[in-house]
Structure 1
Amino acid sequence: MSGSTSDESAGASSKSTSSSSIHQPRQRMAQNYLLLWIDASMDEADKDCQDILAQLKNVVNEVHLCSQSDQCIQLVKQIDTERAFVITSGYFGQHLVPKIHARLSDESIWYTCLENLSNEVVYEIFEYLDGCDIYKSFSNLNIRLQNLIISSSLLLRIELDPLSKHLLEHHCQHVIIPNSHRILSLHLADYWKDQLLIDAFFNHCIIDSSFQRLESIMLKGIKTEKLLTTLFYLKFLPRLFSLTMYIKDYYYHDPGNIYPLIFSLPTLKYNRLSRSTHTREITIPHVINKKFSTIQYLIIDHTCTLNQLNSILHYTPQLRHLYCNPVIDSNEEFKNDLAMKLPHLKSLYIEQFYESFDEFEMFIKEISSPLQILNITVFWGKAYLDSNGWERLIKEYMPGLEKFYFHFNHMIHDDFTKDLIDLSNGFINQFNSPFWVERKWFREIRIDYENIDFSIHPYREEWIDLHEHMKSDHRIMQLIIMNNQFTELTWRFIKELKCASKAIHFTHLGIEDDSMCIHMLLDTLSSLPNIKSLKLSSPSIFPLKSLPIEDTENYRSVLAINKITKVKLGQVTEEQEEQQIQFFINLCPHIEYLGVDCMSDTDVPSLMKLILMNRRTRIPNLCYLCFIIPMADENMVRTLAMTIDSERVNDNYTIQRSGNKISVYWK
C-alpha cells in the first residue's frame, strides 16, 4: 500500500508550495502561475510592449500574448491544473469572460477587470512598473485611474536607459519635474560608450530639494566632472538613503575629491562607487573639523591600497557592512596609528586582496570590529594557508565570527605543480582540527581550467541534505572539477593530486566539466575511495553507446570500493536517458539518494519505472528520489504516483511537489 494516494500527494505539493511562498512569494509565483494577456492592438516589436513583458516575467514565469479572443480560448482549453491570470481590457473582457466561463467550470482561471481592482491592489501592481510607463499606459483609460496616478499616495520609481533617450525631454517635462515630490527612486543607466543620457537628463532637470521623497539614486555611466556637480545638489535631499555611482571615464581621475562630498550627504545609509579605469591613488583632503558620515553599507568597487582604504574609513564610524575590490599591494607600511575603529562593522568582503597576511592581520586588529561575516579572496602567500594563524586571529580579534568564506586562488603551471601539491596537502591537513569542525566550516578544492581554488565556507544545505534521514557529515571535504576546457596540464595536476589524495578523505566529488570522458571519471573515482556523494552537471557527455568500459579494471575497482550513497545527475538527455541512469545505478549499488535533472522532453514516467525496477534488485537502499522537471505540475505528480502504485510493491511512500521539483520518500 502506498503511503499517500495521488490526491494526498497533490495536497502535499500544495502545502509545500504554500509554505515556500511565504518567504519568496514572487519566486514561487513565477514557478506556478500562467499569464494570458489579450489585446487586439498588441505589437510585440514595440519597445514599450517589450518593457512591460520583461517586467511581467519578473513576477510570473510564463506569459502568452493573444490578439484574438479565440486564440486565448484555445490556450485556456489546454490548461489542466495550472492557475492562470488573463489580462484584458474591460470592453474585450465583456465578450471574452462568458466564452471562457462556458468552457471552464472549475476555478483554475480567475478573471476580473483592472477597473474593478481595489486601489490597494492597483498600487501594488504599480510597484513593479516604471513611473513613466504608468503614465503612458494608464493615464488615458478612465477618470478613476487618472486620479490614482496623480494621487500623492502613489510614489514613482523612474528608470531611464539609452533606449529611452529619444523620450527623455518628454519624460522630464511631463512626468519627472511635475511629480518631483512623489519620486521614490531615480535610476539612470548610460552604459553605451557614445550615449549621453545622463548629461542630457541634467540639461533638462536638476535634482534639488523639491525631490523631497527621493530615497534611491543610481547613476550608471556618469563622468567625474558631472558627478562632482551633482553631489553638491544631493546634500539638499532630506531622505536620500541609497546612492550608487558607476563612473565612466576613459582617462584617470583621482576619486579623492568625490568621497568628501559623499560623506557630506546627511541621511545616506548605502553607498557604492565603481569605476572602469584603474585608480592609481586616492587623496582624501584633510579636514580639521570633519563631519562623520551616516553610511552603514559601503561598497568600494575600485582599486585602493590598505592605507587608502584606511583614509576612507576615517569618515564612517557607523559602518556595518564593507565591500572592497581590489585592495592592491603598495610599498608603504600600514599606518596603524591612523586606523579608524569600526565598532559596528559586522561583515567584511574583500574580493581581491594582494597584501600579506601580516598586513591583513594588523588591519583586523586595528579596526576592532565585532565581525560576524568575513569573505576574502587572496592570490599569494603561504601564510594564508596556515590554519594556526587564522585560528589565533579569529579567537583573539573575531570571536563572534559566524561565517567565514576564504578563497586562495592560484594558477596551475608546469613549474609549480609540486608546490601546488604541497599547498593542497597543507591546506587539507591543517584545516581539519576541532576548531574548524565545531564551526561547521568546510574545505573545498575547485579545479577550473588552469586555476585551482582552495576554499573554506560555512555549512550550507545542499541537495545531499534534503531528506531528514540524510545526516550531514560536518567533516565533508569536496573536490570540484569544472570548466569545459579540460587541458592536459589540468589533467596532469589532477593525476598528481590523486597520488596524494589517498591520504585525503574527499567525501564529495562534483564534475561540472562537459569535456571529461567516462574513462577520466572512473580513473578519478578509483583513487577517491571515501567519496560518498557524486554530482555530475552533464552526464550526457559520456560516450555510453560503447560500453566495454564495464569490463575495464577501473570500473571493477570503483564498483568494489566505492561508498557512494548520493548521486545527482544533471541534464540527462532524452536520447540516452535510460542508459545514463542505468550506468550510474550499476556503478553505485549503495545509493540512498538519487536526483535527476530532466529536460523538457524527458519521459519521466519511464524513468520512474526503470528506477523502481532497480530498487527491487540493484539499489534496495534507495529511500529518496528527486526529479527536477521544467514543467512539473500536479498532473505529473498523480501520474508518477499511479506508476508507483502499478508496481504492486508493498512500500509506504510519500510523493510531493515544490515548484519544479517532485520528490518521493520511502519509509
Structure 2
Amino acid sequence: MRPSQILSIYSWKPLEHDYFFSQFISNLEFNHLESLNFETDDSHILMSMLSKIKSLSRLFSLTITHRHDYIDLSDIYRIILALPVLKYYKFTTNKPYLSVLLPVASNKRMNNIEHLVMNHHCTFEDLSMITSYTPKLRRLYFINEKESNNLIPENIYPILLCNLTHLTIGDYYKNFNEFEIFLSQLNLNLNVLSITVQSQDITYLNATRWEEFILKYLPQLEKFYFQYSEKIHNEYEYPIKSRQLNQFSSSFWIKRQWVTKISFDNEYITHLIRPYRETWFVDFSFTQLTLLYYPDEFGGITTVDCRRILNTIHIYHLEIRDEKIFAGLLIEMINFLPKLDSLKIHALSFNQSGSLSINELNTLCSIGNTCQITKIYLEKMIDIEEVYLLMKLCPCMTYLKVGYINKNKIKLILRNILKKINHKRISQLHSLCFHVPAIDDKIVNQLEELINNENLLFNFTIKRVFDNIHLKWT
C-alpha cells in the first residue's frame, strides 16, 4: 500500500527512532491521512512528528500520548491550534502542572476543532487562552488537579463557546465557590455536564446550591454526572454531613431523573449523581447504596462508616457486589436500613454449620416485623435455603428474581419455592423471574403443566423472554 492510500494510523506502542518513525518523517506522500494516534516517551520525536503533521492538509483527528519526559506544552498547542482542518484533538501527559503560555487568538488564527480533550492539568487561565482559538468547540474535557489560590476572575480571558454542549472536568480540586465563578463567566448552553471532585469542600453536597446554580446558569442541562469521594479515616468524627444527600431527592432532581448513589469500597465513600437508567428495581427517585467490598466481619471502622451514612440518609436500594455475603452480615445491614425497598446481591453464604446463630435468628425475627423490602435480585443461587431465608427476612417481598438456574433443575426449584409460598402463606409475593440459559418453550410448557397438575397456583401467567422465565399470579 502506498502512503497516499493510508487514511488512518494507530501506533500501539511508544514511537522510537525506528523504521516507522523514519518513514513517516521523511515521506511526503501521506497527503490523504485523516486520523493519527501515537504515543511517545521522547520529546524530540514528538516535536519531529508535529513538524510533519503541519503538512497534513486532511488531518481531522489527532491523539497524542506523551509520558516520562518534560515538554513545553506551549509549543505543542501553538502547532496544533494552527492546523486548518483538525476537528478532534486529544493530548495526554502524566507530567503535572505544566502551563500553556499563548497569546489570545485573533480572528485570523481561529481553527475548526470541535472536540478537545486535554488529559492533563489545565488552569482556568490556560483554558481561557486555548479556547480563544476554538470558537466551534462542542465537546471539552480538561483536568484541574492542582489546588491553587483563590480564583481571580479578572485574570481569565472571556471564554465565548456558544456551540459547547458537553463539558467534562476531571480531578477537580477547587472549592464550590470557585467552580461557580468559573462556569458563571462562560455563558454556556450546556446539555451535558460531568465533574469529578477531589476537593473536600462539602458545599458540593448542598443540593440547594446546585439547584440554584443550574437554574440560573445551565437551564438547558439535560444530563448531569457528578462524583465526590471522601477518604475513610479511622476516626469517629467526619467533616462531611451526609444528611445533606437527602436533599437530592427533591422534585427538582426527580423531574430531571437524576439519581443519587453512594458507593463504599476499602478506602472511599463515593457520592454519585447520574442520569437515570432503566434498572430492575425501576424507581429513579430512589437513593442507592452500592457496597463494592465487605470484609467477613462487620466490625471496626466499617461499622462506624456504615452507621454514619445509613443513619443519616434514606437509602431505598442496596446493591452488594461482593462475590458472597454472609447471611448474618446481610441481616445486620438490613437492620440499619428501615427505608430499604429493593435489594441486589450476588450470592449468600452461611456459616460452617449451615444455620444462623441465636443472635442472628433473634435479629431476623425482629427485622421481619419492620423490613419494607419489596423487590429482591439474587444473581446466583447456590442453595435454595438462600431463597427461603430471603422470604423470611422480607415478608413484604412482591418480586423475586434469581439470576442463574440450571435448566435441568428449574422444575424442582420452582416446585419447592411455590410450595414454600403456599405453606408459609406468603401473600405479598406474586411475581418470580428466573434466568435459565438455553431455556425453550417446551420447558416453559412443562412448568405450566406442573403448576396446574399440582395446584401450586391458580390465576397465573408464565412466559419466556429470551432466557428469562416470568411467572406472575394474583
Normalised by the shorter chain, which TM-score bucket?
0.7 to 0.9
State yes or no: 1:241 paired with 2:60: yes
Note the 1:543-558 alignment, pairs <5 A.
Answer: 545-548=354-357, 552-558=361-367
The residue that corresponds to 2:102 in the other structure is: 284
The residue that corresponds to 2:434 in the other structure is: 627
State yes or no: 1:520 paired with 2:335: no
Query: What is the CA–CA distance in structure 2 between the aligned matches of 1:277 and 1:403, rounded to whole Å?
Result: 31
Instruction: State the Cα deviation string for residues 243-271 of structure 1 (Å, max 9, x = none).
Output: 111112x2322322111222222222221
* Amino acid paired to 1:435: F
Distance 1:495 1:484, change over 3 A: closer
The residue that corresponds to 1:383 in the other structure is: 203
Instruction: State the Cα deviation string for residues 485-511 of structure 1 (Å, max 9, x = none).
Output: 57731222213334x34xx43211112
Note the 1:411-560 alignment, pairs <5 A.
Answer: 411-415=231-235, 417-420=237-240, 423-428=241-246, 430-465=247-282, 472=283, 474-485=284-295, 488-498=300-310, 500-501=311-312, 504-514=313-323, 516-540=325-349, 545-548=354-357, 552-560=361-369
State yes or no: 1:563 paired with 2:381: no
The residue that corresponds to 1:45 in the other structure is: none
The 3-state SS of whatever aligns with 2:30 is coil
State yes or no: 1:255 paired with 2:73: yes
Distance 1:332 1:626, change over 3 A: same
* Higher relative contact order, structure no. (Cα contacts within 8 Å, ≥ 6 residues apart): 1
The residue that corresponds to 1:646 in the other structure is: 450
* Amino acid paired to 1:557: S
* Amino acid paired to 1:419: P
Quote the offset at 1:572 in angstroms. 3.1
Structure (1 or 2) with the greater helix fraction: 1
Query: What is the CA–CA distance in structure 2 between the aligned matches of 1:543 and 1:309, rounded to whole Å?
Result: 60
Contact 1:208 1:234 in 2 (8 A): no
Provide the TM-score with structure 2 as the length reference: 0.88
Quote the offset at 1:326 in angstroms. 4.1
Query: What is the CA–CA distance in structure 2 between the aligned matches of 1:617 and 1:207, rounded to whole Å?
Result: 83
Quote the offset at 1:288 in angstroms. 5.7
Provide the TM-score with structure 1 as the length reference: 0.64
Query: What is the CA–CA distance in structure 2 between the aligned matches of 1:227 and 1:497, rounded to whole Å?
Result: 49
Query: What is the CA–CA distance in structure 1 between the aligned matches of 2:462 and 2:152, rounded to whole Å?
Result: 61
State yes or no: 1:189 paired with 2:12: yes
Quote the offset at 1:597 in angstroms. 2.4
Quote the offset at 1:403 in angstroms. 1.2
The 3-state SS of whatever aligns with 2:249 is coil
The 3-state SS of whatever aligns with 1:571 is coil
Query: What is the CA–CA distance in structure 2 between the aligned matches of 1:523 and 1:440, rounded to whole Å?
Result: 31
The 3-state SS of whatever aligns with 1:478 is strand
Contact 1:540 1:572 in 2 (8 A): no
Query: What is the CA–CA distance in structure 2 between the aligned matches of 1:444 and 1:267, rounded to whole Å?
Result: 42
The residue that corresponds to 1:299 in the other structure is: 117
Query: What is the CA–CA distance in structure 1 between the aligned matches of 2:406 and 2:58, rounded to whole Å?
Result: 48
Quote the offset at 1:407 in angstroms. 1.7
Contact 1:306 1:328 in 2 (8 A): no
Contact 2:264 2:291 in 1 (8 A): yes
* Amino acid paired to 2:305: F
Quote the offset at 1:563 in angstroms. 1.5
Query: What is the CA–CA distance in structure 1 between the aligned matches of 2:151 and 2:29, rounded to whole Å?
Result: 47
The residue that corresponds to 2:49 in the other structure is: 230
The residue that corresponds to 2:171 in the other structure is: 352
Picking from 378, 382, 401, the partner of 1:595 is 401
What percent identity do the matched residue pairs reach?
A: 29
Query: What is the CA–CA distance in structure 2 between the aligned matches of 1:287 and 1:322, rounded to whole Å?
Result: 18
Q: CA RMSD in A?
A: 2.9
The 3-state SS of whatever aligns with 1:246 is strand
The 3-state SS of whatever aligns with 1:340 is coil
Query: What is the CA–CA distance in structure 2 between the aligned matches of 1:611 and 1:445, rounded to whole Å?
Result: 33
The 3-state SS of whatever aligns with 2:388 is helix
The 3-state SS of whatever aligns with 1:612 is helix
Picking from 379, 384, 401, the partner of 2:221 is 401
The 3-state SS of whatever aligns with 1:302 is strand
Query: What is the CA–CA distance in structure 1 between the aligned matches of 2:135 and 2:179, rounded to whole Å?
Result: 20
Query: What is the CA–CA distance in structure 1 between the aligned matches of 2:353 and 2:84, rounded to whole Å?
Result: 66
* Amino acid paired to 1:201: F
Contact 2:379 2:404 in 1 (8 A): yes
